[in-house]
Amino acid sequence: MNVSIVMPIYNPDKKILARIIKAVKEQKFDNKFELLIIDKNRGLAAQMNIGMKKSKYEIVVMLPQDCIPADKYWLKKLVYPLKDKRVIASVSKVQLPDEIWDNFSLLTKAIMIKEAGTITPTLDGKGSAYRKKIMKSIDWFDEKNFRTAGEDYDAYIKIKDLGKIAYPNAKVIHYHSTNFKNRLRKNYQYANGYGALVRIHGIRMTRWYVGIIKAMPLIGIIIYGLSYPFSKGRFLFSLYIITSIIDHFYYMFGFWKGFLTGKQTV
């Protein structure tokens, strides 16, 4: 199977970008692959669509500007499940490296504790592979209602019943440096996208009601406490609750704005 790798970029870290390109070129892959770098400044969903439509091959991998393949066999491991025609997408594990995590402040660590270590997304743009014909059948990523958050989960909801989604042992390293203030803004953006998703898809979403409860004034803080990942350490729990109170207000405004308009706009 030949593969197209699409990398949407916007003001990327040039050093990280160079490392990604080098890692892609060094992939041990038995077939042909191309790398398309899309720099159009039109929103993430739109850039992914541009790349997917330009791609030469049927299997298309989305690789962000801050995700580096973990090893030389990443692409091979990611794409292998798609040899089965019943598989329509394949998902990379995402690891936040220690060199990034260790430089976070305690406040930033508390608000990002769920992303510590290695996580397995449901299906997102961080190193996921898609069958082009499947994405075409749902009219690609929804760039009308999602700009920079929510478009990946929207696609998941639309394709999950069309075939199997694979979760192989393929991994990307997420070099996303941030701080507490910037993370609050990002969570506001995520909440805005999630509100739009609940408005558009409703009960088709798993645990859609949790997002609504979380967006209720004060009551929503309970959801934060119940969702703390104790498996990743208890030492940040108290600080996590404090940061959650602040994050909760960002979440409320973002969620309801997205829910009421049915669009992700921030």
Question: Tens of pLDDT along 138-155?
Answer: 999 999 999 999 999 999
Q: Are residues 21 and 56 in the same domain?
A: yes
pLDDT band at 41 (very low <50, low <70, confident <90, very high): confident
CB atoms within 10 A of CB 69: 25
Q: How far apart are CA 111 and CA 88, in angstroms?
A: 33
Among 133, 154, 178, give the residue marking a domain's end.
178
The mean per-residue pLDDT over the stretch 113-120 comes to 96
Share of the chain above pLDDT 90, in %: 98
Q: How do residues 193-205 score in pLDDT, each as one tens digit?
A: 999 999 999 999 9
Q: How many folded domains does the chain comprise?
A: 2
CATH number for the domain spanning 124: value is 3.90.550.10
User: What end-to-end distance do the CA atoms of the chain give, in Å?
Assistant: 38
Nearest to 246 by CA among 110, 103, 114: 110
Mean pLDDT computed over every residue of the chain: 97
Between β-strands 59-62 and 3-8, what pairing exists: parallel, antiparallel or unpaired? parallel
Domain that holds residue 227: 179-266
Q: Which pLDDT score, from 0 to 100, does residue 145 have?
A: 98
Which of 149, 178, 207 delimits the end of a domain?
Answer: 178
Regarding whether 70 and 53 lie in a shared domain, the answer is yes
Last residue of a domain, one of 178, 196, 222: 178
pTM: 0.95
Same domain, 189 and 200: yes
From the number of C-beta atoms within 10 Å of its C-beta (0-12, 13-18, 19+), residue 17 rates as: middle
Q: Which two tokens stand for residue 34?
A: 């191309």
Is residue 197 located within the same domain as residue 90?
no
On the question of pLDDT at 50 being above 90, the answer is yes
If asked whether residues 221 and 100 sit together in one domain, one would say no
Q: Using the predicted structure, report yes or no on whether residue 21 has a pLDDT greater than 90.
A: yes
**Do residue 134 and residue 233 come from a single domain?**
no
* pLDDT of the residue at 56: 97
Q: Mean pLDDT across the stretch 208-237?
A: 95
Query: How confident is the model over 25-44, as a mean pLDDT?
Result: 95
Higher-confidence residue of 206 and 76: namely: 76
Q: Is the pLDDT of residue 133 over 90?
A: yes
81 and 206 assigned to the same domain: no
How far is the CA of 112 from the CAs of 63, 75, 102, 148, 216, in angstroms?
A: 21, 27, 12, 19, 22
